[in-house]
Structure 1
Amino acid sequence: MTPANSPTPPRPWYRTVPDPMVLIFLILVATYLLTFVIPAGEFERITENGRTVVVPGSFQYLSDVAPIAPFDIFVAIPQGLINASQYLFIVFIAGGLFHVLQKTGALENAIGVAVNKVGVRRRNLIITVGTFIYGFFGVAVGYENNIALVPIAVLIASAIGCSSLVGTTMAVGGIGVGFALSPINPYTVGVAQGIAELPTFSGAWLRTLLLVTSLALLALYICKRVVPMPFKEAANAEGMSRPLHEYSLTRRNVATLVAFVLGLAVMLYGVFTRGWYINEIAAMFLVMAIAIAALNGLSPNAFVARMIEGASSVTAGAMVIGLAASIQVILAEASIIDTIVNGLSGLLDGVPAGLTAILASVLQGVINLFIPSGSGQALVTMPILIPLADLVGISRQLMITAFQVGDGLTNLIIPTSGGMLAMIALGRVSYEQWLKAILPFMGLVYLLSFAGLVLGQAVGY
């Protein structure tokens, strides 16, 4: 027993991490200070086949950009909220949808029945299968498009006796890895291969190998590391309410789940055939919520009350998204994004061919902090990196894979990734808790991916 007068032991570093909003505000201030160190500059851009591309070698410094005033740091915050409004609104609407759905009991009953049949003792099998399923959605559907599926993983985790952190890691990690290493990602691989004049989705074997091994690694990591992690559930988190053997499905439950699945099917149809994105998906969530409320006999007033309850439970996560978007506001106003990209790309000059792909991947991860859009990043960096790949003796295909690894995987940790912040908000996990859980895995998956890049260079990929 520790004596009463003994000094208090120092707290571990990971217990002194500031609140996510404090952390992101500090990054915002640091970004503002960078505007006085990094000169403004821009690339020339032209339109080819309806697509805006950067002209390699066209970078020039700008002398007519006014300094940003200190007060603009605070102006950038509401502007960031406006710029990120589509993410904020889909978080609020999705939060309301799942609160309405959970209150019907249909989703909980379905998960309870399914887990009871499989057996809680097969927990690791459920986590592994779930991780690969979410990985498949990341491959086939995209990143932000899967926001609605995160709360389902949280309920599955609750059914097998795990925390919401386990469910969130299974869902967001699986979706993130699937999207990052997808052999058929139209937003990154498709755009980059178009710029590189390569057949669309060619060279899929290396990406598929990295994808499958990374998802297997993630499932193992969750079972061995995340499941045993101490985790304090949010006070408003909704989990399983009774023992598994007591669950059953009513006709109304079945009708509710059919409406939910049909809604998801319509959403996916819109994504793949109509070009739907965040706003249309949010609208579809709202239609699904109204349909589910009607099937369960909710009055309009009761429906609105539940939507507001659900939205309020994810307010903190939504505010983090808006605050993170303010970083991009400062970077754009100072016109230093292109300067940073140009400087980082210049670091690849003179690097041995065997290391170029790895270093390019690392640099893409840094650039992703400033240009979180995968397709936008491809349009800015690929016109620079593709000619560089030709000069240093690595294939264009390998450079694109290096870009994909660097851009995609960092979406799981950078504070400017609106999709990631939206999904962990729906999983009732704070940014601080998320980083503690996912960072060790990130180290492992990067080592695996870098080994894949070395393999690709060795076999002439």
Structure 2
Amino acid sequence: MKEQKNKEIKMVDTFVIIFFVVLAAALLTYVVPKGSFETEEISYTLNDEVKTRTVIKNGTFEYERDEAGEPLRDGVKVFGTDADEKPGFLNYMFEGIVSGDRSGSAIGVIAFILVIGGAFQIVMSTGAIDAGIMRMITKLNGKEAILIPILFLLFSLGGAIFGMGEESIPFVMIVVPMVIAMGYDAIVGVMVTYVATQIGFTTSWMNPFSVAIAQGIAQVPVMSGAGFRIIMWIVFNVVAITFTMLYARKIKRDPKKSLAYESDQYFRDDLEKGKSVEQDFKLGHKLIILDLVLVMIWVIWGVVKKGYYIPEIASQFFTMGLVAGVIGIIFKLNNMTMDGVAKSFRDGAKDLLGPALVVGMAQGIIYVLGGTDPTSPTVLNTILQSASGLIAGLPAAISAWVMFVFQSIFNFFVVSGSGQASLTMPIMAPLADLAGITRQVAVLAFQLGDGLTNIIVPTSGLLMAVLGAAKIEWISWAKFQIKFQVLLFVLASVFMFVAVAIGFV
């Protein structure tokens, strides 16, 4: 009974944490005055195509002032209405959920998470994944550890080349039960999938959603500095893979040392059912695996060649789920019926409802702070301007490092790479000129700060969706991640100092 009570308390930890973050943001609006910037259109070339983006115009920050001419501190109301045109603290849940559009946070990401969860539960309900996992383990015959570096590098390349992020969620649903069956835990599964994509994303030399945009805004050649970043990618991956493999070996020796041991029981129970299917790996199972593989190829092709994003990818996986359901019915896999397909979809969506709600709650933080529009007077704009003032006048190496630290902290509020670039780079780029460092170093500070904290901040809807798919509580994940974050922070700091020392351009 005591263990059950403790587990129930942990289950609400993420909701409680974000609630108090929103509360802190609300209190901040009573202390920090509002400010705004002017914006301008800038152009940059990416893959021989001219792109435009609206960014902050540096040096245009102004406080909103009250009747006495003093900077206005306009705290949020406890409860807001449309007529007030002011944020309300108790409105953060609803307003956070409905913010954004079908292609982004929050409503688009929420829909994406629920559709993915439902579609993959159909696939899992056929027993094909479990049967395939057991068959693969039999063929590997004790050499499972080789999959850790292979998977990590593949997902890291996905993050580096085409900004893989949301696409990792369905892979997590496959890889987590696979590594648990091999004697590891869900944490290893998240490390070799989602974390790997973020390592690749962070150290990328060509990511079109972060590096290219930041370089375009900073007015340095897009895709420049690739040599330094490729070396950085290699070093970060070697360190991360080594860390993961050492942890995996420890869990293999004693699974009970895992922080996810209790939550992994869900997958262990499911795999026990799959063992009975393994001896009879039917044609229907093979067709579902083929369905899965073909859709993965379709998704990668769509993202790379056609620029598919959340709406298209969600529909692709929904198609996969429908096809798997039809195959399951025809071949009577796990006694699958039409009603069974519908129930599986509903159960899968239900399992990811919690992470989906966290996406909305996290956006509620931005709502309370007034939003991310630089032209509207908000507390967030003032924080951004104040941070630039702290950097001015410091020695070059320290200025670069403080830029990196600030970008890491700012990512807690704005986890979108392109969004953060549009808000911060127009200020940080000219500030780099004043600090005596190259603009390429300023881009590097953004790149490292934007990416690494995505692995731990509870305001990242993508992270919370991944943890939800892996059945890992955020508190457990944070306890594991803190050591890894310190390691990454030190490594990133070293690269920042080296970049300044060599005059990285």
Same fold (TM over 0.5): yes
Mapped partners of 1:235, 1:243: distance in 2: 15
Q: Do the aligned partners of residues 177 and 161 (structure 1) sit closer, same or farther apart at CA in structure 2, a change above 3 Å counting?
A: same
Deviations 1:100-147 (A, max 9, x none): 111222222323222322233x34332222222221222233212322
Q: Distance in 1 between matches of 2:241 and 2:174?
A: 17
Could you say which residue in structure 2 is the equivalent of 1:70?
A: 78
Which runs of structure 2 are paired with 1:133-172 in the superposition (5 Å)? 133-141=154-162, 142-172=164-194
1:229-308 aligned at under 5 Å gives the runs 229-231=258-260, 232-233=262-263, 236-237=266-267, 239-241=270-272, 246=278, 249-297=281-329, 298-308=336-346
Query: What is the deviation of 1:87?
Result: 1.9
- Contact 2:131-2:278 within 8 A present in 1 as well: no
Q: Which residue identity does 1:229 align to in structure 2?
A: S
For residue 18 of structure 1, report the CA deviation from its aligned partner.
7.2
Cα deviation, residue 313, structure 1: 1.7
Task: Specify every segment of 5 or more residues in structure 1 that has no aligned partner in the other structure, as ranges.
Answer: 1-14
- Which blocks of at least 5 consecutive residues in structure 2 are unaligned? 1-8, 44-51, 67-71, 80-87, 100-105, 252-256, 330-335, 372-376
Of the three residues 186, 189, 193, the one matched with 2:211 is 189
Q: Give the secondary structure class of the aligned counterpart of 1:370.
A: coil
> Following TM superposition, by how much is the alpha carbon of 1:222 offset from its aligned partner in structure 2, in angstroms?
2.4
Equivalent of 1:175 in 194, 197, 218: 197
User: Where do residues 303-382 of structure 1 align in structure 2 (5 Å cutoff)?
Assistant: 303-332=341-370, 335-382=378-425
List, as ranges, runs of 4+ consecutive aligned residues in structure 1 with deviation greater than 6 Å.
15-18
Are 1:56 and 2:58 counterparts? yes
**CA–CA distance in 2 between the matches of 1:248 and 1:454?**
58
Residue 34 (structure 2) aligns with: 40
Does structure 1 retain, via aligned residues, the 8 Å contact 2:369–2:378?
yes
C-alpha displacement at 1:16, in angstroms? 8.8
1:57 maps to amino acid: G
What is the distance in 2 between the residues matched to 1:418 and 1:17? 17
Cα drift, residue 406 of structure 1: 0.5
**Which letter does structure 1 place at the counterpart of 2:95?**
Q
Structure 1 residues 304-353: Cα deviation after superposition (integer angstroms, max 9, x where no partner): 11101111222222222222221111112571111111111221101111
Say whether residues 1:129 and 2:159 are aligned partners: no
Q: Percent identity?
A: 30
Per the alignment, in what secondary structure is the counterpart of residue 47 of structure 1?
strand
> Does structure 1 conserve the Cα–Cα contact (< 8 Å) formed by 2:137 and 2:182?
yes
Is the deviation greater in 242-251 or in 182-191?
A: 242-251
8 Å CA contact retained: 1:364, 1:403: yes
SS in 2 for 1:46: strand
Q: Is the 8 A contact 1:236 1:313 kept in 2?
A: no
**Deviation for aligned residue 1:247:** 5.2
- Structure 1: which amino acid aligns with 2:195? G
**Corresponding position: 1:448 with 2:491:** yes
Change (3 A) 1:235 1:155: closer
C-alpha distance in 1 between matches for 2:263 and 2:10 = 19
Matched residues in 1 for 2:202 and 2:279: separation? 37
Q: Tell me if the contact between 2:10 and 2:475 (Cα under 8 Å) persists in the aligned partners.
A: no
The AA in structure 2 aligned to 1:306 is S
Alpha carbons 1:24, 1:415 under 8 Å: kept? yes
Q: Which residue of 1 aligns with 2:332?
A: none
SS of the counterpart of 2:151? helix
Q: What SS does the aligned partner of 2:54 have?
A: strand
One-letter amino acid of the structure 2 residue matched with residue 311 of structure 1: A
Count, aligned residues: 446
Q: CA RMSD in A?
A: 2.3
Bigger RCO of structures 1 and 2 (CA < 8 A, at least 6 apart): 1
1:235 Cα offset (Å): 5.9
**Farther off after superposition, 224-233 or 66-75:** 224-233
Q: How far apart are 1:245 and its partner, in Å?
A: 11
2:130 and 2:400 map into 1 onto residues whose CA distance is 46
Q: Distance in 2 between matches of 1:260 and 1:378?
A: 35
- Per-residue CA deviations over 1:221-267 (Å, capped at 9, x if unaligned) read 22333634343125644642256995564322222122222222222
* Whole-angstrom CA distance in 2 between matches of 1:406 and 1:362: 7
Separation of aligned partners in 2, 1:16 and 1:100: 28
Structure 2: distance between partners of 1:201 and 1:119: 43
1:65-108 deviations in Å (ceiling 9; x for gaps): 75311222111111112222222222221111221111222222
Contact 1:145/1:277 (<8 A) preserved: no
Residue type of the partner of 2:34? A
Q: Secondary structure at the match of 2:119?
A: helix
Alpha-carbon shift at residue 17 of structure 1 (Å)? 11
